[in-house]
Structure 1
């Protein structure tokens, strides 16, 4: 499951990223204002993408997405290199991560088959979750998740501009999402016709990377900022509660998607499950979350 892979990799990335002081995406990790800054940047980015999609400036979308993917891959592959070979020279690890990131980004552009998209998607989502999760403390992260859950609800069910944005990315065959085929032999490159009409049979299910990143950020933040009993050597009890809560809410979400046969806003489900699981984990561990 892509969601579980993203969560596991992001938690494993926390120590190497912190050891190289890559936990300063925001100035003060305790400030709730960071959440508001994040939302403002997200709104500006979404607005810019909608304008670009509206006027079909395809090369600009591809360029922006390629730079975003490439830069995130460099961080995550560097962290994985340090994690797997702790004694590696940082210059060597950096060089290898840059080369591999360039290759993966080029492959995503030239041959965007579903398994390439999913492989890059897992790495990008894990890297983004780890980088933001270690830079935001618990309270700002929860505030951010609540705001984004409300925003996702509005953008999917009310204004529906998120669906238009998803269609624009899929037309380019370079979507920033996970592709989950329903049958062997499915080809995203050959069968991609945009999001299926309401009630229509699907050849694949699609999940935005943000649906994996946002709840995972809370698990990473819990692991980085809370002193709680560790499990499995790299995850504490509140973070594990967050993971379990996210997975339960994901099952509920997918059941609704299958039954209703139309796109659903993921974050209202996933963020709620993540927060509930986190709070139960704090209760089980006997730690105060704030």
Structure 2
């Protein structure tokens, strides 16, 4: 979910409304993908690729079904008021598990079950289990915006290589195009994801990056309402959408948000490019070749376009179309710069 709001409090005179918050959002987006690239070799060595045959385009369908089922279950839980506590336990448990994956990848301490095991991705040693348990406890007891942001960045960085290593160039390109279309449908046609966004906001789970315009803001305020109450139902947002509205609830007018999915899905292409395209590594610390760096840079261009759209056109806007377009464009530019034909880069 990506959404930015126009309201601001406590900013110096002459600084455009929301500037600092937007800079923070962009920084979190970039840092998540960069850290994901940096962890790719370690995650690959741990055997944690989501799919064992990255060239199988059928992986796209499997992944899409998984996301749609999860979305449907959560929307039903929020709409009918059943199972919300279980949804929160599941989300915080997933975040904690992936944080343990990042910890093991960064430090080499502890163990995570590899692909092929029924426990794939779960911590299986005292150290990794302790990291997951402590993370879960902190997120449950103290869901402040900066705690959630750090957690989302860390576990998002672990998820990006797990996903990207499971998709070769052609499948991941198909996924980016298909999911951008789904995002546009969910925002401009069905609107069902606004319920999901509002429900996730109530759960205060680290699924969205939240950056306030003022440091006085707190997500732990009992009156916190991420999506602005009933007005949220009038505008669609699917986890990758953006909106510019200042005359809403106090919480809504004081924050900028970006859905974690807006970093995960574009980041997959950068990881896939570095893993599967035969091109010289240009940034050794990230094991990134020119197409991977191009994907990262293109995503930032897409983010700039998204922010421009937010401020120029009132209402809800799908975020993945501009983000994924930028990522794909940057990826292809990087591929050509590395001497890779466009058809090869696209997996054709």
Q: Using structure 2 for the length normalisation, give the TM-score.
A: 0.77
Match of 2:225 among 180, 193, 216: 193
Helix, strand or coil: the match of 1:206? strand
8 Å Cα contact 2:51-2:165 kept in structure 1: no
Helix, strand or coil: the match of 2:39? helix
Cα distance in 2 between the residues matched to 1:11 and 1:220 = 6
- What corresponds to 2:68 in structure 1? 43
Cα distance in 1 between the residues matched to 2:312 and 2:134 = 39
8 Å Cα contact 1:76-1:127 kept in structure 2: yes
- What corresponds to 1:85 in structure 2? none
Structure 1 stretches of 4+ with a deviation exceeding 4 A read 88-94
Match of 2:294 among 241, 248, 260: 241
Distance 1:95 1:231, change over 3 A: farther
Q: Which deviates further from its counterpart, 214-223 or 248-257?
A: 248-257
Helix, strand or coil: the match of 1:179? strand
TM superposition shift of 1:125: 1.4
RMSD: 2.0
Q: Using structure 1 for the length normalisation, give the TM-score.
A: 0.92
- What corresponds to 1:282 in structure 2? 335
- What corresponds to 2:9 in structure 1? none
Match of 2:152 among 102, 116, 121: 121
Match of 2:104 among 56, 75, 78: 78
- What corresponds to 2:180 in structure 1? 149
- What corresponds to 2:24 in structure 1? none
8 Å Cα contact 1:223-1:238 kept in structure 2: yes
Match of 1:163 among 158, 178, 194: 194
TM superposition shift of 1:9: 0.8
TM superposition shift of 1:261: 5.2
TM superposition shift of 1:178: 0.4
Cα distance in 1 between the residues matched to 2:168 and 2:308 = 32
TM superposition shift of 1:192: 2.2
- What corresponds to 2:266 in structure 1? 215
Is 1:63 paired with 2:89? yes
8 Å Cα contact 2:36-2:158 kept in structure 1: yes
* More helix, by proportion: 1
8 Å Cα contact 1:246-1:273 kept in structure 2: yes
Cα distance in 2 between the residues matched to 1:268 and 1:95 = 42
TM superposition shift of 1:252: 1.3
Distance 1:78 1:261, change over 3 A: farther
TM superposition shift of 1:89: 6.8
Cα distance in 2 between the residues matched to 1:121 and 1:266 = 18
Gaps of 5+ in 1: 83-87
Cα distance in 2 between the residues matched to 1:120 and 1:8 = 15
Gaps of 5+ in 2: 1-26, 113-122, 232-243, 248-252
